[in-house]
Amino acid sequence: MYLARYQAEGKTRYAIRESYPDDDMFRSRDLIDLGEDPGAFLRYPGGNAFYVHEAIEDQLRSLHVTYDMDELDEVFWAFVRPDIQKAQAYFRRRGASGANHPTDDPSENLNFHLFDRRRVHFLRFGQTDQGRIGMASPKLFKGLARKSRDEIEQHFMLSEQILKPHELKSYVFVIFDIQRHFSEHFARSMPQGLDQNAVDTLFVQDICRLNRDDRFWADLRLKNHLHEYLVRYLVTFFDNDYGRSGYLEDLLQSWMNSRRGFRFPERKPAVSFKEAGSIFGISEDEMRRLSKKELSRLFRRKAQEMHPDKGGDHDAFIHLADAYREIKNKKK
């Protein structure tokens, strides 16, 4: 079992789901809808204890779901009162250290999609250079074993919360392996030194490619628009800049100075509010009045409408992303 978070009618809702084997893959199914606040199903009898309301156990039994209480507690753990979490943290760590993993078969872990392996590797080590990922221990990926695609994506949505703001764009650059398109020796370690116009174009191509990968989506059906599990990467990439590093900047500057013919990539002309309004399909005044949150919401909607996989023009999609980034930076 696992806790799934999803959007419905503009609100964040939660459900208990489970992954189950079906022939050669794992599928997911809804078990119990928890509404907008899973914490409403928790009870505190006193001291540092808590338990899940009996109604949840009754529903699981009626569905013939096999589980243990630790598994059920884990589903609701994020919504347990902070003081109870703090009091039980030590005992949870001790229990986790001796927990049995779902599989210890290295061959099963090696079959994981490379996109998943890149995500696990970056979240564990924070390295932009994954040239040695093929040598990583299979144990690193065992947490993804015997899970449906939906459960894996829910897992990453939660795991990615540890990323710091300056890591976000580099994370997307790495997990989509954009560096493979470039011959520059620093492509693996300093993506900010590459031609960003080319990087943007290649990222759109790669996210479209993953969107069409039936092996990756497995039990989830392919869609004719950008999958909701990929939208966050689109927004993260165009909504953030690479983290600044004095060491990296000095190293890049030294490399540039050693090559007299080096030139910075030509900068794109600034996008005006009028031009951005035309791209987004609203007036200049409306564009000026949008808050950052409203602009981000509009970008998400337009990005799905104009996505190349939905028949949109590739160049128009890039212009949309550029306009969004320019206007966002102009707003307070």
Q: What is the pLDDT of residues 61-86, one digit of tens each?
A: 999 998 888 899 999 999 999 999 99
The reported pTM is 0.74
Question: How does residue 34 score in pLDDT terms, banded at 50, 70 and 90?
Answer: very high
For residues 139-168, average pLDDT: 93
What are the tens digits of pLDDT across the range 167-212? 999 999 999 999 999 998 888 878 888 899 999 999 999 999 999 9
Q: Give the whole-angstrom CA distance, residue 256 versus residue 270.
A: 25
Distance CA 38, CA 49 (A): 17
**Neighbour tally for 152: CB within 10 Å:** 23
Domain residue ranges of the chain, discontinuous segments joined by +:
2-97, 108-267
DSSP letter (8 states) at residue 161: G
321 band by pLDDT with thresholds 50, 70 and 90: confident
Q: What pLDDT sits at residue 26?
A: 93
CA distance 58 to 211: 39
User: Which of helix, strand or coil describes residue 295?
Assistant: helix
Q: Within 13 Å of residue 14, how many CA atoms lie on the same side as its CB?
A: 15
* Chain mean pLDDT for the chain: 84
The DSSP code for 191 is G
Query: Per-residue confidence at 94, pLDDT binned at 50, 70, 90?
Result: low
Q: Rounded to whole angstroms, how far apart are CA atoms 43 and 38? A: 11
Give me the pLDDT at residue 326, please. 83
Per-residue pLDDT reduced to its tens digit, 211-237: 999 989 988 887 778 999 999 999 999
Lay out the sheet containing 25-35: strands in order across: 2-8, 11-22, 25-35
Residues 112-118, mean pLDDT to the nearest whole number: 94
pLDDT value of position 262: 47
Summarised one tens digit per residue, pLDDT across range 121-133 is 999 998 888 888 8
